[in-house]
Amino acid sequence: MLILSLVEARPLHGYEISKLIERRSGGTVRFHAASLYPLLYRLERQGWIHGQWVEKSGQRRRRYYRLTRQGRKVLASQLRSWREFVAGVNRVTEPENA
Amino acid sequence: MPEWKPEIVRRLAALNLASAREAEIAEELAQHLEDRFQELLASGNTDDQAFRTAIEELKGEDLLARGLKPVEREIYREPLAPGRPTRSVFQGIGHDLRYAIRMLRKSPGFTAVAVLTLALGIGANTSIFSVVYAALLRQMPYRQPSRLITLAEVRQPTEQYWNASYPDYLDWKSQTKTLQSLAGFSGDGFVFHGGGEPQLLPGMQATASFFSTLGVKPMLGRDFVSAEELADGPRVAILTYHFWRTHFGGDANITGRTMKLDNKSVSIIGVLPREFEFVPAGNGEIWVPMHLTKDSGMRTRRNLRWMPVIGRLAEGVSPEQARAEMKTINARLAKSYPRENGQTQVLMVPLRDRLVGQVEPLLWTLFGAVGFVLLIACANVANLLMVRAVARRREFAIRAALGASRRRLIVQVLGESLMLAIAGGALGFLGAFWGTRLLITAIPQQLRDNMPYLADAHPNGVVLAFLCAVAVGTGVLFGLAPALQLSHHVTSDALKEETRASSGAIRTRLRDALVIVEIAFSLVLLAGAGLMVRSLGALLRRNPGFDTSNLLTFSVNLPVASYPKDPDDVQFDREFSDRLRNAPGVIAVANTSVVPLTGGGNTVRFVIEGQPVATGHEDECDIRDVSNSYFSALKIPLLAGRYFNDSADSANAPQHVIVNEAWVKTYVHGENPLGKRIKFTYSPTQKYREIVGVVANIADARLDSPEEPALFLPFAQDPNPFISYIVRALGNPEAPLGTVSELLRQQDPQLFPIQPVTMDNIIAQSPSVFLRRYPSYLIGSFAALALILAVIGLYGLIAHSVSLRTREMGIRIALGAQRRDLFRLVIGQGARLALIGVIIGIAAALGLARLIASLLYGVKGSDPLIFAAVAVALVVVSLLASYIPARRATRVDPIMALRDE
């Protein structure tokens, strides 16, 4: 879900993804290459994201991942259930009649 | 900059990834590590520190591989996984084909049998097709060949003659509007002095319009011009490509050079293109303008029909319009010349039909026959595949269970079939090179000369296209049935069924049907072969009416320059014949204007004294000039009167004729003809000639030609400078040839024997024999092939069904069935299929026999003897094929059979 939501805005390459996750989570969530890439390949294999080699002038080519149509649906439903889950948890943990 | 990739690749090694995928992953990860490395450097780390931190990303030696394993394995290591839904159609097919090859390589025995069977079928088909294409389908090498027609003057539209008289040709030419041009041609021959022995060269003469009518331009030099037509003799010549190459070394400056023909100097004005061919020219290599002396009858006589005529339809004119116009012109000529043209009509036939008409039914018959062989081969391979499919049911069931779609399974089975067909096609194509050669060399040389188009018969682009179509067609044909069958069956219960194979009813019926079809086709081929062999036998057994044994024939051409007058010819003949007759090994010597069984010869119109006929409506029959010794030398029986003899039939004696039996039957209706007198009507100076003898009929033009009425004149009274001799030898008919050459040379050094050939060879090489012998051999071999394939098919089916029914047999025995009953059960299965096949085959063969009626001789298409023999043979062979499996069925041990389950 994290990755899906990151590439929703714009296509990113693997290193960017790992940096963004690290930064946005304030350093609490960190993916090493050894676990990030198998995850990316699995998401790609499931058809939720699509990786594509892109060459920019003066740089080596990089593989950019973008969200697929199917991935967008999955993300929407995951976000929904996540929010429901979070809301549920909140309702349980909030002090009554606060 | 550190090298990341080796580090990564080392960690990926355990995964055994496809190299492309491995490189891709390595590149992406290396990029990542490099980014991390640069970032660490930027934040003040040393190279060494940065490297160590970056490599940390890979987390030890095996984390990466463990993470990737479940993902990558699935995607990239299983491209051949059968049945996985494909992302791309082509990728799927590629996989399926590779899978098919792997499966086929796993069972080399099956593959070899299937491929060889198909190669035989496809190779034989391609060979025959090469010949059919060259002879019938290819465009003739003329401009718009379909616009070319032939014109002939006949009395009955059924007559085969292709001749017209020169004066009529000229009138047609000047009057027609529907024909853009007309041309005539005729055979010719020259003594060619090209260094070494003089040789007789076959050549052709043609009107100046000939090549332009065909639409052929000389490759070098120029065409004839009309001023060159009708000279006393040829002054100019056009060479064929072949002759130019062989005799003049392909000299590019040939035009303007001269050569010596018949002791005359002739200048070469052109060379024909390489692809030029003209069937009636045979092996004629020199073309000269039509040369007719002023007073020659061929030039002046309207009733001397000797010249084949071709014409090209004018733009926008249909053949019907041209026919209608020629009819009008002909009616006009008949009115002006009732004596000559009163009864003739103009027959217009497309050029193509004239040129290949004779071999057309033969070739289509062979093509049909070989098609049957291929169908049988397909049926057999389909049968094999279906047997295999039974054994592979579990494989397919598993794949279906894993999610392979029905379409996917069909594609895969078809893929296997296609692979087999392609392999068979490739092998067949190689075979076709050899087969085509064999087909052509099996044609007697003399006949091959008349089929110049066959020089082109070899597997070419069109043939290759045909082959590919056939290979793919057969692949689909024999693959589709098993494929549908299999995918239909596979879906549900195959997994459970294990080996308990009560073979599915539909499959059994389909396999039965295939075997029935094979047997039916075999019967058709066997019957066809039988009919051809019987025709050939009948033809060869036909008594030609004369004794053909130990005969040598050859011709002598007396140059007009040395033998200017008729008596010179007679004088030469008398001396030469006497000397030859006395030579050792020679029993008899005769001469004739036409050697029997070689075809050709003249006809003459006549009236019988006391039987007046309207002018132009006289009867016409064959006429032959023969020596006095002709009938006795050939042993043609005398039925009445006498043979010719030297005293009563010399040059100055009263003119006499001998007639044959058919003549008596046709023209005097069986009355005694002796003493009757007849007169030829081609010239008013002709006198009545008395009939002095009646001889038996002989097969004249061809061995299969009907017995035609004929008149014989004594050579001495109607001599000709072109004399054909017939010598009866004591033993080997070729033995006297040396003596013949020697005697000729002694008598006149410029003479040599032309076309020496034995009568046995004439018969063996004659078209009538060829038209039966050739298909006899070919259809015979096809039939044998078909029979073998059908028997294998039947055997396979029965044997397989016995092996599937082992358990049933065991139960039957356990329940008390006698072994005899089981034997009968199995044999009965084979016999039933054979009988159904035979019945269908007989029906089909009776229908098809009508199509080859023109090739049959002395036997009806429905000959009961042949059909009975073939049917019995097939049933017997089928029973034999069922016998071995039946024996095996009786040996089933009930305990073993039941325990096996």
CB A4 within 8 A of CB A74: yes
**What pLDDT band is residue B536 in, cutting at 50, 70 and 90?**
confident
Render the burial of A16-43: b for 16+ CB within 10 Å, e for the rest. Answer: bbbbbbeeeeeeeeebbbbbbbbbbbbb
Beta-carbon contacts of residue B338 (< 8 Å; ≥ 6 apart): B615, B616
* pLDDT of res. B97: 74
Q: Which amino acid is at B387?
A: V
* pLDDT of res. B488: 61
Cβ-defined contact of B31 to A39 (cutoff 8 Å)? no
What are the C-alpha distances in Å from A86 to residues A26, A90, A95?
Answer: 20, 6, 15
CA distance B714 to B631: 11
Residues of B in contact with A18 (CB under 8 A): 32
Q: Is residue B111 part of a domain?
A: no
Q: Is residue B488 part of a domain?
A: yes
Residues of B in contact with A14 (CB under 8 A): 28, 31-32
CA distance B444 to B612: 47
Cβ-defined contact of B63 to A33 (cutoff 8 Å)? no
Indicate the residue of B33, B71, B74 with minimum beta-carbon distance to A33: B33
Q: Is residue B13 part of a domain?
A: yes
Cβ-defined contact of A60 to B31 (cutoff 8 Å)? yes
For B613, the 3-state DSSP assignment is coil
**What pLDDT band is residue B93 in, cutting at 50, 70 and 90?**
low
Cβ-defined contact of B36 to A15 (cutoff 8 Å)? yes
CA within 13 Å, CB half, B434: 8
Cβ-defined contact of A45 to B58 (cutoff 8 Å)? no
* pLDDT of res. B170: 93
Do B441 and B478 lie in a common domain? Answer: yes
Tokens of A52: 């594509």
Do B439 and B584 lie in a common domain? Answer: no
Cβ-defined contact of B68 to A41 (cutoff 8 Å)? yes
Strand partners, B603: B622
* pLDDT of res. B195: 67
- Residue in A with minimal Cα distance to B65: A34
Q: Is residue A78 part of a domain?
A: yes
For residue A47, give the CATH number of its domain. Answer: 1.10.10.10
Q: What is the pTM of this model?
A: 0.67
pLDDT in tens, B443-459: 887 778 778 788 777 77
Q: Is residue B99 part of a domain?
A: no
B219: pLDDT strictly greater than 90: yes
**What pLDDT band is residue B406 in, cutting at 50, 70 and 90?**
confident
CB B33 within 8 A of CB B55: yes
Q: Is residue B551 part of a domain?
A: no
CA distance B23 to B16: 12
pLDDT in tens, B308-335: 999 999 999 999 999 999 999 999 999 9
B150-159, B187-196, B839-848, B858-867: range with lowest mean pLDDT:
B187-196
Indicate the residue of A34, A41, A62 with minimum beta-carbon distance to B59: A34
What are the C-alpha distances in Å from B843 to residues A69, B523, B784, B849?
Answer: 65, 10, 20, 10
Strand partners, B554: B725
Tokens of B474: 């057969």
For B712, the 3-state DSSP assignment is strand
Render the burial of B299-308: b for 16+ CB within 10 Å, e for the rest. Answer: bebbbbbebb
From B791's Cα to the closest Cα of chain A, the distance in A is 54
CB B423 within 8 A of CB B114: no
Q: Is residue B294 part of a domain?
A: yes
Q: Kindly tell me the number of DSSP H helices and DSSP E strands found in chain A.
A: 4, 3
Q: Please report the ipTM that was assigned to this predicted complex.
A: 0.86
Q: Is residue B316 part of a domain?
A: yes
Render the burial of B68-77: b for 16+ CB within 10 Å, e for the rest. Answer: beebbeeeee
Which domain-ending residue is among B19, B54, B77? B77
The whole-number average pLDDT for the span B597-606 is 82
Residue of higher predicted confidence among A42 and B194: A42
What is the helix (H) or strand (E) element at residue B136, kind and residue range? none
Domain count, chain B: 4
φ and ψ at B312, to 5 degrees? -115, 125
Burial class of residue B496 (count of CB atoms within 10 Å of its CB; 0-12, 13-18, 19+): exposed
* pLDDT of res. B74: 52
A50: pLDDT strictly greater than 70: yes
From B113's Cα to the closest Cα of chain A, the distance in A is 44
Which range, B476-485, B747-756, B800-809, has the best average confidence (pLDDT)?
A: B747-756
Cβ-defined contact of B29 to A39 (cutoff 8 Å)? no
CA within 13 Å, CB half, B336: 10
Cβ-defined contact of A34 to B63 (cutoff 8 Å)? yes
B188: pLDDT strictly greater than 50: yes
Q: Is residue A59 part of a domain?
A: yes
Taking any CB pair shorter than 8 Å as contact, residues of chain B touching chain A are 25, 28-29, 31-33, 35-36, 56-60, 63-64, 67-68, 70-72, 74-75
Give the dihedral sign, CA B684/B686/B687/B692.
negative
* pLDDT of res. B505: 60
CA distance B442 to B438: 6
Do B591 and B459 lie in a common domain? Answer: no
Domain count, chain A: 1
Cβ-defined contact of A41 to B57 (cutoff 8 Å)? no
From B57's Cα to the closest Cα of chain A, the distance in A is 5
CB B776 within 8 A of CB B866: no
Q: Are strands B179-192 and B220-221 parallel, antiparallel or unpaired?
A: unpaired
Which domain-ending residue is among B20, B52, B77? B77
Tokens of B350: 């497309």
Task: State the Rg of chain B over Cα.
Answer: 39
Cβ-defined contact of A18 to B32 (cutoff 8 Å)? yes
DSSP annotation of B740: H
B84: pLDDT strictly greater than 50: no
Q: Is residue A10 part of a domain?
A: yes
Residues of B in contact with A38 (CB under 8 A): 64, 67-68, 71
Concatenate the DSSP letters of all residues of B150-198 into one string: EEEEESSTT-----B-HHHHHHHHHH-SSEEEEEEEEEEEEEE-SSSS-
Cβ-defined contact of B67 to A33 (cutoff 8 Å)? no
Cβ-defined contact of B64 to A38 (cutoff 8 Å)? yes
Tokens 């100076």 map to which residue?
B685
B196: pLDDT strictly greater than 90: no
What are the C-alpha distances in Å from B728 to residues B543, B596, B638, B734?
Answer: 18, 14, 19, 10
Do B189 and B296 lie in a common domain? Answer: yes
Cβ-defined contact of B25 to A37 (cutoff 8 Å)? yes
From A33's Cα to the closest Cα of chain B, the distance in A is 5
Structural domain boundaries, residue A41: 2-93
**What pLDDT band is residue B883 in, cutting at 50, 70 and 90?**
confident
The whole-number average pLDDT for the span B468-477 is 80
Taking any CB pair shorter than 8 Å as contact, residues of chain A touching chain B are 13-15, 18, 32-39, 41-42, 45, 60, 62-63
**What pLDDT band is residue B83 in, cutting at 50, 70 and 90?**
very low
CA distance B121 to B471: 10
Cβ-defined contact of B31 to A35 (cutoff 8 Å)? no
pLDDT in tens, B158-169: 777 888 999 999
**What pLDDT band is residue B241 in, cutting at 50, 70 and 90?**
very high
Do B391 and B522 lie in a common domain? Answer: yes
Burial class of residue B727 (count of CB atoms within 10 Å of its CB; 0-12, 13-18, 19+): buried
* pLDDT of res. B694: 95
CB B518 within 8 A of CB B881: no
Closest by CA to B799, choosing from B743, B675, B681, B883, is B883
From B52's Cα to the closest Cα of chain A, the distance in A is 14
CA distance B825 to B823: 5
CB B666 within 8 A of CB B708: no
What is the helix (H) or strand (E) element at residue B349, kind and residue range? strand B345-350
CB B609 within 8 A of CB B743: no
Per the prediction, chain B carries an average pLDDT of 84
φ and ψ at B232, to 5 degrees? -65, -35
* pLDDT of res. B495: 46
Residue of higher predicted confidence among B103 and B27: B27
From B40's Cα to the closest Cα of chain A, the distance in A is 13
Residue of higher predicted confidence among B57 and B722: B722
Q: Is residue B92 part of a domain?
A: no
Tokens of B375: 């169908």
CB B809 within 8 A of CB B824: no
Which domain-ending residue is among B275, B309, B342? B342
Cβ-defined contact of B32 to A15 (cutoff 8 Å)? yes
pLDDT in tens, B641-684: 999 998 888 888 899 999 999 999 999 887 899 999 999 988 88
Could you tell me the end-to-end alpha-carbon distance of chain B, in angstroms, rounded to an integer? 69
Q: Give the rounded percent of residues in chain B with a pLDDT score beyond 90.
A: 26
The number of beta carbons lying within 10 Å of the beta carbon of residue B327 is: 13
- Residue in A with minimal Cα distance to B59: A34
**What pLDDT band is residue B76 in, cutting at 50, 70 and 90?**
very low
Beta-carbon contacts of residue A77 (< 8 Å; ≥ 6 apart): none
* pLDDT of res. B489: 57
Q: Is residue A98 part of a domain?
A: no
What are the C-alpha distances in Å from A51 to residues A32, B30, B35?
Answer: 19, 16, 18
* pLDDT of res. B814: 79
For B148, the 3-state DSSP assignment is strand
Q: Is residue A27 part of a domain?
A: yes
CA distance B551 to B654: 32
Tokens 């003493």 map to which residue?
B675
* pLDDT of res. B82: 46
Residues of A in contact with B56 (CB under 8 A): 32
φ and ψ at B563, to 5 degrees? -125, 70
The whole-number average pLDDT for the span B746-760 is 87
Structural domain boundaries, residue B679: 559-750
Q: Where are the alpha helices (DSSP H) in B716-805?
A: 737-747, 759-765, 767-804
Residue of higher predicted confidence among B411 and B619: B619
Interface probe, candidates B4, B11, B29, B32, chain A, greatest A C-beta count within 10 A = B32
CB B270 within 8 A of CB B252: no
- Give chain B's length: 901
Do B312 and B389 lie in a common domain? Answer: no
pLDDT in tens, B424-433: 888 988 888 8
B78: pLDDT strictly greater than 90: no
CB B205 within 8 A of CB B289: yes
